[in-house]
Amino acid sequence: MSLTFLTGTERSQPLPTCFLELGDSGCAAVANEPTGSGFSLDRTLGLGSPQIHGLLVDDDNLLGFGIYPGDRLIVDRSANPVVDQYLVVRPQGAHEYSLRLLAPDPRGGLLLKAARPSIPSLVLDDLGSIEIWGVVLWVVSYVGRKQP
């Protein structure tokens, strides 16, 4: 599975000046929209906080979790993981990070399940053998059409 760590500076940008000026016919409809303390995607996702990071899903290995190539994962490095959360992990000796679901082990303890059933689960009995990089809080998907 391939994840790309996005830079900490990738943030949404403020609206262009024309969106705030009433006289511009190309932006007049948007100029009448509320501004100020309304909805902020950055604020909702926690972007800008030092512990919040974005990752880009590069391939289709997470389809079993309903996560698609091009989706962005918003990850909190300071959150304590709980059952049924997605974790970005790296087993000891591995070079790449992967996304796993923290699940109860029917025999007791905890498992880190992969999105594909053909990939074996990791038993989380020794926290020293697995680096938990962060907890996924949000999956951001683009559902519009790309413009030519």
129: its two tokens: 């053998």
115: its two tokens: 């999105």
DSSP letter at 43 equals H
Let me know if residue 147 belongs to a domain: no
Torsion sign, CA atoms 111, 114, 117, 119: negative
Domain count, the chain: 1
| pLDDT tens-digit map of 85-127 | 999 999 888 899 999 999 999 998 899 999 999 999 998 876 6
Let me know if residue 83 belongs to a domain: yes
Question: Taking the model in full, what pTM does it have?
Answer: 0.72
Beta sheet of 72-76, edge-to-edge order: 3-5, 52-57, 72-76, 130-140, 86-91, 98-104, 110-113, 122-123
Domain that includes residue 87, residue range: 3-140
CA distance 63 to 81: 22
Let me know if residue 120 belongs to a domain: yes
CATH number of the domain enclosing 109? 2.10.109.10
Q: What is the per-residue pLDDT for 57? A: 94
Let me know if residue 89 belongs to a domain: yes
CA quadruple 77, 140, 105, 114: dihedral, nearest 10? -100
Q: Decide if 88 contacts 4 (C-beta within 8 A).
A: no
Q: What is the per-residue pLDDT for 65? A: 96
What contacts 67, CB < 8 A, 6 or more positions away? Answer: 57, 73, 99, 115, 139
Let me know if residue 146 belongs to a domain: no
Q: pLDDT digit of tens for each residue in the chain (148 aa)?
A: 677 777 554 444 444 454 444 444 444 454 445 455 677 877 878 888 889 999 999 999 999 999 999 999 999 999 999 999 999 999 888 899 999 999 999 998 899 999 999 999 998 876 678 999 999 999 999 888 776 6
Let me know if residue 148 belongs to a domain: no
Q: What is the per-residue pLDDT for 147? A: 67
Q: What is the per-residue pLDDT for 127? A: 66
Give the closest residue to 113 by CA, choosing from 124, 128, 129, 126.
124
Let me know if residue 77 belongs to a domain: yes
